[in-house]
Chains A and B, each alone.
Chain A
Amino acid sequence: MLKLLKSGFYTSVQDRGRFGYRDKGVPVSGAMDNYALETANRLLENDENAAVLEITMTGPTFEFEENTFIVLTGASMSVTLNNQPITNYKVHKIVSGDILSYGRLENGFRSYLAIKDGFKTEKVLGSRSHTKSITDSTYLKDRSEISYEPCDAFVPKISEIKINAYFDETVLEVAKGPEFGMLENRQLEKVFGGDFSVAKENNRMAYQLKETIDGHDKSMLTSATLPGTVQLTPVGKLIILMKDGQTTGGYPRILQLTDDAISILAQKKLGDIVSFKLIAP
């Protein structure tokens, strides 16, 4: 078991997500920063869908009850293992009784804790990802216990990688969304001509942007939405749906973020700057 001695701001279990139920209104969920999830599982030679912990903004303190190996990816949060600083993107050996403690956020917004063979929480509709109204809980509370398979010996093929820092990246690559064609020149200039900042309404469901563009009065019938869809509201607000976002919506879908852009945005917090760059179809 992994014991949560102190919960952080928001820590949840996530895997790649819950697929196959969007036509019933079930959000996809899964790690907000899929790049961090993939990298962590690859270093541990895990199944690509192995469940990790997604740790948002401020970190918790954990105690490991069995031997294992872990990797931290995503945001850096001054993590210590038994009071010794440890680094991200490196396989660390864990011995029963070890204490992992998260400190100050240094960069990014979401950090990932992956464990050898993944966390073994209950699967609901094919996924372990915490999701409101799908799983019994939506995040981990103090004194939660999460099970994992003990592992005494593991010789990783690659024990550490250097990653290109993507936390400083502010450009979000986007493709045209289905209603891109409704944008007028003034709106296009605003969308691609300047910076936007992340509003306080940002969470696993959606990121709103502070700056607005010209609004519209186009009404459309409800239709599917995806993680990474940029919706334009009648008053000109841009809402970027994220992993727990609703599966249908009635606002025009003007842009669609690439998978990498979703990972970049997932590491942004209130006030951070982003801009959009259209990629060739």
Chain B
Amino acid sequence: MKSYPLSIRPYGIRAVLVEWPNEVDEEILEDILQFYQYLKYHCLKKTGWEMIPAYNSLTLVQNNNLVDFKTFSTKLKKWYGEKSGTVPEQRYLWRLPVCYDLDFGIDLEDVSKKLRLSVPEIIEQHTAHVYRVYGIGFLPGFMYLGGLSESLEIPRKATPRLKVAKGAVGLAGKQTGIYPQESPGGWNIIGNCPVSIFNAKEEGPCLVSVGDQIQFYSISRAEYDLHKIEGEVGIYKVEKLEIDA
């Protein structure tokens, strides 16, 4: 794997920001996650560290102590040089059902008009691609997905909605994603996913990790209702496949 020129900068008195070149790129993400892995298991054993990967950056936060930037950034550079050969954590491809019924896809007809694609074409293109999780943030369990087909790029709505339903699947710019909870939002809503991505009551509260992949598949309204009930009683099994590193 190639080595990137890193920018290491202080972020206040208890955090450090490490940045890779300013691009959305799978190889950069892989490099970040490999470094994350190496730091987690070999370097930052002291408690209180948290690491937040997102797109082209890795933020390291020390919750208990202040960070001496000079010493720490020198160490980070050294560790970055040592990380090659680190085996990344097992990643998964999650296959998530989406019901593109017009009851859920409240902007489908509008999106269809603006993109000059029929509703079946939109569904076909949305489900054809495998998306990469570049970050999780904004809301607990909200995934920033990369890899949307250019033909589905549509600006976010001029006026955001005050309420977007939990599970709503949306399009905005180069992004697609799922609202993990009811919230205000400006994305164009094309369907709903009955699977809960985030559940605070679980010890591992979020199904998905940064670096995982997502693929959607279309389900009928009846299947949606069934999965919803299965989810509520805890017998729904999400389909996941191991990805070879």
A interface residues, Cβ below 8 angstroms from B: 19-27, 124-125, 133-135, 175-178, 220-224, 226, 228-229, 246-249, 253, 256-258, 281
Interface residue stretch chosen among B7-15, B93-101, B111-119: B7-15
Question: Is A23 in contact with B210, judged by CB distance below 8 angstroms?
Answer: yes
Question: Is B9 in contact with A178, judged by CB distance below 8 angstroms?
Answer: yes
Question: Is A175 in contact with B210, judged by CB distance below 8 angstroms?
Answer: no
Question: Is B139 in contact with A24, judged by CB distance below 8 angstroms?
Answer: no
Known A21-B205, A124-B201, A256-B11; contact A223-B59, beta-carbon cutoff 8 A: yes
Question: Is A224 in contact with B59, judged by CB distance below 8 angstroms?
Answer: yes
**Chain A CB within 8 A of B17 CB:** yes
Main secondary structure of the interface of A (DSSP, over half): loop
Task: Report the Cα distance A248→B135, complex, angstroms.
Answer: 9
Question: Which B residues between 196 and 224 are near A, CB-CB below 8 angstroms?
Answer: 198, 200-201, 205-206, 209-210
Question: Is A178 in contact with B136, judged by CB distance below 8 angstroms?
Answer: no
**Chain A CB within 8 A of B137 CB:** yes
B166, closest chain A residue (CB): A133
Question: Is B51 in contact with A23, judged by CB distance below 8 angstroms?
Answer: yes
A248, closest chain B residue (CB): B137
Instruction: Please give the distance in Å from A251's CB to the nearest CB on chain B.
Output: 12
Task: Report the Cα distance A24→B63, complex, angstroms.
Answer: 17
- CB contact between A248 and one of B19, B50, B52, B181 (< 8 Å): that residue: B52
Known A125-B205, A177-B12, A281-B10; contact A22-B52, beta-carbon cutoff 8 A: yes
Give the A-B pair count, Cβ closer than 8 A.
Answer: 119
A interface footprint on B1-25 (CB within 8 Å = 1, 0 otherwise): 0000000011111010101001010
**Chain A CB within 8 A of B194 CB:** no
Can you report 13 A-B residue pairs in the complex whose CB atoms are below 8 A from each other?
Answer: A19-B50, A25-B139, A25-B141, A134-B140, A178-B17, A221-B55, A224-B57, A226-B15, A246-B137, A247-B138, A249-B137, A256-B13, A281-B10
Question: Is A25 in contact with B11, judged by CB distance below 8 angstroms?
Answer: no
Question: Is A175 in contact with B10, judged by CB distance below 8 angstroms?
Answer: yes
Question: Is B53 in contact with A134, judged by CB distance below 8 angstroms?
Answer: no
**Chain A CB within 8 A of B131 CB:** no
Instruction: Please give the distance in Å from A71's CB to the nearest CB on chain B.
Output: 24
Question: Is B205 in contact with A19, judged by CB distance below 8 angstroms?
Answer: no
Instruction: Please give the distance in Å from A237's CB to the nearest CB on chain B.
Output: 17
- CB contact between B63 and one of A19, A26, A247, A249 (< 8 Å): that residue: A19
Instruction: Please give the distance in Å from A164's CB to the nearest CB on chain B.
Output: 21
Question: Is B52 in contact with A247, judged by CB distance below 8 angstroms?
Answer: yes
- CB contact between B205 and one of A26, A221, A257 (< 8 Å): that residue: A26
Question: Is A23 in contact with B52, judged by CB distance below 8 angstroms?
Answer: yes
Task: Report the Cα distance A125→B51, complex, angstroms.
Answer: 17
A225, closest chain B residue (CB): B137
Residues of B near A26 (CB, < 8 A) are 140, 200, 205
Task: Report the Cα distance A261→B66, complex, angstroms.
Answer: 15
Known A25-B136, A175-B12, A258-B13; contact A223-B57, beta-carbon cutoff 8 A: yes
A124, closest chain B residue (CB): B200
- CB contact between A23 and one of B11, B12, B53, B200 (< 8 Å): that residue: B53
Question: Is A20 in contact with B50, judged by CB distance below 8 angstroms?
Answer: yes
Question: Is A24 in contact with B206, judged by CB distance below 8 angstroms?
Answer: yes
**Chain A CB within 8 A of B104 CB:** no
Task: Report the Cα distance A28→B135, complex, angstroms.
Answer: 17
Q: Nearest 5 CB-CB pairs, A to B? A: A248-B137, A256-B12, A224-B59, A24-B206, A224-B52
Residues of A near B201 (CB, < 8 A) are 124
Task: Report the Cα distance A127→B227, complex, angstroms.
Answer: 31
**Chain A CB within 8 A of B80 CB:** no
Which of B24, B53, B138: most chain A CB closer than 10 A? B138
Task: Report the Cα distance A281→B72, complex, angstroms.
Answer: 14
Instruction: Please give the distance in Å from A153's CB to the nearest CB on chain B.
Output: 33
Residues of A near B142 (CB, < 8 A) are 25
Task: Report the Cα distance A124→B140, complex, angstroms.
Answer: 13
Instruction: Please give the distance in Å from B20's CB to the nearest CB on chain A.
Output: 10
Question: Is A24 in contact with B24, judged by CB distance below 8 angstroms?
Answer: no
Question: Is A24 in contact with B12, judged by CB distance below 8 angstroms?
Answer: no
Residues of A near B135 (CB, < 8 A) are 222, 248
Task: Report the Cα distance A248→B61, complex, angstroms.
Answer: 13
Task: Report the Cα distance A247→B53, complex, angstroms.
Answer: 11
Residues of B near A229 (CB, < 8 A) are 12
Residues of B near A247 (CB, < 8 A) are 52, 137-138
**Chain A CB within 8 A of B56 CB:** yes
Which of B11, B51, B181, B209: most chain A CB closer than 10 A? B11
Instruction: Please give the distance in Å from A133's CB to the nearest CB on chain B.
Output: 5
Question: Is B137 in contact with A281, judged by CB distance below 8 angstroms?
Answer: no
Residues of B near A221 (CB, < 8 A) are 22, 24, 54-57
